[in-house]
Structure 1
Amino acid sequence: MGFHARLLGVSTARVREQTVTVDLLVLSVSGDLDTCTAPLLQHNLSQALPAVTVLDLSRLEFLGVAGLQVLEAAATNAVAERRRIGLVTGSDSVRRIMRLFDLHLRVPVYPLLGDALRELT
């Protein structure tokens, strides 16, 4: 698969393919997910995805509106394609932004990667 990480603009974000099986993909996102870096995650999510995708945001330092829009689009696409998606975050600030925009009502959010893997697979 064509998953990769690169720097865009002055902000940094890394998207790392952590686990791939026939039915499961875990993408780990670290750094800032903002206007400069959201296209990187969007590119990775535009690939053909398996039945279950987990976005591990536990190392995310900042979630901007552009990043939130990518996550919302991923949730919408997963529903339309009858796939499952989950988000992992231990950050209070990231969870707060998700709650402000009601993302947590459409996508399950887990405190630990193991919790997400147990529930979604």
Structure 2
Amino acid sequence: MSKTEVVKIGEVGVDSGQLMLCDPCYIGSYWSERDWLDKDVDLNDPSQESQFDGEFSYLGCCVSRQVEGLAGQLNYRLGHAGVGVVANTGLGDGCYPVYAEIEDTGTWGRRVVKIWVDFMGEEDEDDA
């Protein structure tokens, strides 16, 4: 049986009410810097919003919410999945704790097998 432990690995700050998960090597090579502010884009118009759905860009993060309007897939330029995912944060902007589950896999040694962000915030020890 594998031995696992959960550790707090840090915190992540949020100023846009959303958080993206991706491989950092994709940011320089795949991130779209389209200047959408200079275009006549009305994000209240679904036909205009859909042009950014899934795009690996700030605006793509803002509109990509395929999972119940809360989270979604970001795509590579050719349209296939895998470049990242984005989710709304539970309480909007703030600083949220990040945890990792570490497992002793035996042959491969200790490995991070899961990470997660507690978007509802840490409970005070006095409240537990």
The answer to whether the superposition gives a TM-score over 0.5 is no
Tell me: higher relative CO, structure 1 or 2? Use CA pairs within 8 A at least 6 residues apart: 2
Larger radius of gyration: 2
Normalised TM-score (structure 1): 0.23
- Tell me which protein shows more strand as a share of its residues: 2
- Tell me which protein shows more helix as a share of its residues: 1
Normalised TM-score (structure 2): 0.23
